[in-house]
Amino acid sequence: MVHRDDAERLGGALTCATTSNRTAAVEVRVRMPDRSWSRVLITITSLTDRSALGAAATSSRVAVLEAHLLRIADEVEAAGLMRTNVPVLDVTRLAELSMLTAKQWDILERLLRGERVPSIARSVFLAPSTVRNHLSAIYKTLGVHSQAELIEKIRVAMDPNP
């Protein structure tokens, strides 16, 4: 049984996976036999065509790794070793995020940490114009026209208390 507060997010992940033919991952609380709640990561892959089966195993490993890395980041931040100030980007809250490429994700996360285009370009070994091209693609995917609009849209979507 899934915790009632997590049911909507699980439904969103199911919708995201089935409508976009992509894999979605969501962390939810489930009831254990001893009646306690335990957090689990659920990976959902649409199997509309059988070619997705091979990709599902890889996608599942990636989703598990991402969950582990998020937990590590939470622990590091909780220990006071580092403040990330980056919202956790939950694709169930903003489905368009699932359309981003790995490079676009990297650039978006760096932008959300406060890095500017020249710094991002140096970090990822790209020309500043290439970083701007990736940002333009991100803007188009998320339906915004500027960095300010992008950051606001993500802030609103990731707000735990809408």
pLDDT tens per residue, range 14-24: 887 777 777 77
pLDDT of residue 88: 62
Q: pLDDT tens-digit profile of 49-85?
A: 445 455 556 667 777 777 777 777 667 666 665 555 5
Mention every residue, 6+ apart, whose C-beta is less than 8 A from residue 6. 26, 28, 29
Query: 123 and 152 share a domain?
Result: yes
Res 152 pLDDT > 50? yes
Domain assignment of residue 55, given as a range: 7-78
Say if 131 falls within a structural domain. Answer: yes
Residue 157 zone, left/alpha/beta (φ > 0; ψ -120 to 50; rest):
alpha
Q: Are residues 13 and 63 in the same domain?
A: yes
The reply to whether 90 falls in a domain is no
Same domain? 16 vs 74:
yes
More confident position, 94 or 20: 94
In a domain, 37, yes or no: yes
CATH number of the domain bearing residue 117: 1.10.10.10
